[in-house]
Chains A and B, each alone.
Chain A
């Protein structure tokens, strides 16, 4: 064979690496050590997967939080007796028809006044199931005064018996509703036989026992007596435990009711009362969701950084192992830029692969959790679409330093190794 030579000078020729060759050489480099490539990809899989799961679950949880807030807080208004705050003697700034006045506000379902009864300075009263001074020492239990409207508004869960009613309130009947905890302590097994308990020596007939109260959980710890009876027996509420009104509203009406309550109840001096509007559900929900998302995104960012460091570390090790190959490629005419491009492409492809697998795994995990919890899965399509190239970007950034290291290796030195 005769070699035909062109008559050009040395620099007239060019060293080149086409896009197709770059892709093929990079793919071959990845497949050269499939196990290590898979492990390298795992870092991105975990990082991107965590990102997708975090965003998916936080969006889904957002919807759940909204439901819960709508069900409870968004339908409740609390009116406090601010006039009592500056008082030194027992005070009650709610008029006797306060519940009726509140009931007239559009959107109110039920409303009533309640307070904790203080006998002397003690927050708990001596309660016994036996009369007289000779009775053994009773138990200390908190006693609450409430009008029937307060019980209708707070909706305690009734274990047995009944709640006292408007008649009991009007007639100042000595009746009491026990919490299940108080009943257990007093040895009261049920309300059917209408047992009697003694509060500071005064007899009260137990008409009902409640399990719990989700709106006024303190009712689940003691005894509740009609407000009128408490006023007659123990006087006005102490300044330390001023009266409050609980108002249950229809969904969406709480904000409006809160603005109108003070004027409706005390048109003569609304400044004595203060209606606490519940946090706007959307604001509260967004605040909670934002906090949750920030926390989880921080964790996901850490996972991505760890993944990127994994790629960078493995790439650096790979470059050390492939030093002779780098030397050979340089001897065959590769420029430093060609070497950098190849290693960068390998990192980007590994990152992209990790992004694709991580996104798929993230979507599956998000769906699995929401199905298990019977939630409605909410996943932004943009999250999924952005997660895919994000993997490639992570790979590119992580591969930058190793690629520059590879391109700076001197060919003769590489071939000597």
Chain B
């Protein structure tokens, strides 16, 4: 993997169009470089294309034009098994609506993240408990999502995202459904993960969240602008 400071994910002149109808050009000619261990906030108005950009970075969508490089490999047109492998082992996702399976306990939800990464079954519970301990929920490991508060559910989702020790954590409005106390707790967690060397990209409307990032990038009508004057990565070939 790239060393700290080296490009981890590079969007190279990426365009994405929803086929519709009507067709919508959600991302226009976006070029962005996220380095290993970097903490980036992606801001912008609703419908500006932030989540679409995040999905492109997380290999959940394929760009209509341009390239998506992960750790130096162009995966924009790679076979789906290669892209799925990166998602399973190298990328963690945190969603606004948590996306926890309602009939599974917190520990089982975390272990779901290990199924496709090929983690041996014997090791899963230890790693899951470790991840839950890290987010402060070891004591609630056997609670169902319905028995957890919103903040606790989001921390379970974070535990699931980091249980495979990803290189990149992508968070889409992670505090959108949380109160201020839960938000503060989650942001502290992101800081710790960032300190551990995980690159964190957070899509947010919340200035408190974007303020914690090293770099803030904003989007407007599908076009990227650099709010904090950092490097947009105009020369991905350099990676």
B134 at the interface (CB under 8 A from A): yes
Instruction: Say yes or no: B117 contacts A15, CB within 8 Å.
Output: yes
* Contact, CB under 8 Å: A325 / B101: yes
Whether B115 contacts A11 by the Cβ 8 Å rule is no
Instruction: Please state if A331 and B93 are interface contacts (CB–CB under 8 Å).
Output: yes
Candidates B72, B80, B121, B160; contact of A335 at CB < 8 Å: B80
Number of interface residues of B (CB under 8 A): 42
Closest to B108 in A: A28
Are B134 and A331 in contact, CB atoms less than 8 angstroms apart? no
B85 interface residue (CB < 8 Å to A): yes
Measured as residues with beta carbon below 8 angstroms from the partner, the interface class of chain A is 35 or more
A213 in the interface (beta carbon within 8 A): no
Among the stretches B53-61, B137-145, B200-208, the one at the interface with A is: B53-61
Minimal Cβ-Cβ distance residue in B for A31: B103
Contact between A25 and B87, CB atoms less than 8 A apart: no
Task: Give A317 Cβ to nearest chain B Cβ, in Å.
Answer: 18
Contact A4-B81, Cβ < 8 Å, known A21-B115, A332-B88 = no
Q: Is the pair B1, A3 in contact by a Cβ cutoff of 8 Å?
A: no
Verify if A412 is at the interface (C-beta below 8 Å from B): yes
Flag whether A374 is at the interface (Cβ < 8 A): no
Residue pair A415, B99 in contact (C-beta under 8 Å): yes
Report yes or no: A25 in contact with B115, Cβ–Cβ below 8 A: yes
Q: Which of A3-17 contact B (CB under 8 A)?
A: 3-11, 13-17
Q: Which residues of B contact A8 (CB under 8 A)?
A: 1
Say yes or no: A330 contacts B71, CB within 8 Å: no
Interface residue B29 (Cβ < 8 Å from any Cβ of A):
no
Inter-chain contact B101/A14, CB cutoff 8 Å = no
Nearest B residue to A334 via CB reads B116
Interface 0/1 of A357-390, CB less than 8 Å to B:
0000000000000000000000000000000000
A324-B102 Cα distance, complex, nearest whole Å = 12
Whether A233 sits at the interface, judged by CB under 8 Å, is no
A124 to chain B, nearest CB (A): 82
**Would you call B118 an interface residue if the criterion is a C-beta within 8 Å of the partner chain's C-beta atoms?**
yes
Q: Give 1 or 0 for each of A28-57: 1 = CB within 8 Å of chain B CB.
A: 100110000000000000000000000000
**Within 8 Å of chain A (Cβ to Cβ): is B197?**
yes
A13's partner among B55, B90, B93 (CB-CB below 8 A) is: B90
| A11 touching B82 in the complex, CB below 8 Å, given contacts A5-B165, A412-B61 | yes
Q: How far is the CB of B51 from chain A (nearest CB, A)?
A: 8
Q: Which of A7, A11, A20 contacts B85 (CB 8 A)?
A: A11
- Cβ of A328 < 8 Å from any Cβ of B? yes
Q: Does B112 lie at the interface of the complex (its beta carbon under 8 Å from any beta carbon of A)? A: yes
Binary flags per residue of B176-202, CB closer than 8 Å to A gives 1, else 0: 000000000000000000001110000
- Report the Cα distance A355→B73, complex, angstroms: 49
Contact A336–B80 (Cβ < 8 Å)? yes
Among A3, A338, A412, contact of B197 (Cβ-Cβ < 8 Å): A3
Cβ-defined contact, A14 with B60, below 8 A: no
- Judging by beta carbons under 8 Å apart, are A11 and B86 in contact? yes
Cβ of B116 and Cβ of A333 under 8 Å apart?
yes
Contact partner, B84, options A18, A20, A335, A415, Cβ 8 Å = A335
- Which B residues lie within 8 Å of A20 (CB)? 121
**What is the CB-to-nearest-CB distance from B162 to chain A, in angstroms, rounded to a whole number?**
8
Contact B116 A338, beta carbon cutoff 8 Å = yes
Residue on A with the closest CB to B196?
A3
Query: A333 — which chain B residues lie within 8 A by C-beta?
Result: 84-85, 87-89, 116-117
Residue-wise interface mask of A (89-121) relative to B, using a CB-CB cutoff of 8 A (1 in contact, 0 not): 000000000000000000000000000000000
Are B88 and A15 in contact, CB atoms less than 8 angstroms apart? yes
Cβ-based interface call for A411 (8 A): yes
Q: How far, in whole Å, are A18 and B86 apart by their CA atoms in the complex? A: 18
B212 lies within 8 A of chain A by Cβ: no
Does B113 have its Cβ within 8 Å of any Cβ on chain A?
yes
Once the chains are docked, how many angstroms separate the CA of A329 from the CA of B101?
10
Contact B101 A330 (CB under 8 A): no
Query: Which of B52, B60, B71, B101 lies in contact with A10, CB distance below 8 A?
Result: B71
Q: Which residues of A contact B167 (CB under 8 A)?
A: 5
Closest 3 pairs (CB-CB, A-B): A333-B88, A333-B116, A15-B84
Can you report 10 A-B residue pairs in the complex whose CB atoms are below 8 A from each other? A2-B196, A6-B1, A13-B117, A15-B87, A15-B89, A328-B101, A329-B112, A332-B117, A412-B55, A412-B60
Given contacts A1-B134, A330-B84, A334-B88, 20 further A-B contacts (CB under 8 A): A5-B167, A8-B1, A10-B71, A10-B72, A10-B86, A15-B87, A15-B89, A20-B121, A32-B103, A324-B99, A328-B99, A331-B87, A331-B99, A332-B88, A333-B88, A334-B84, A335-B84, A411-B60, A412-B55, A412-B61
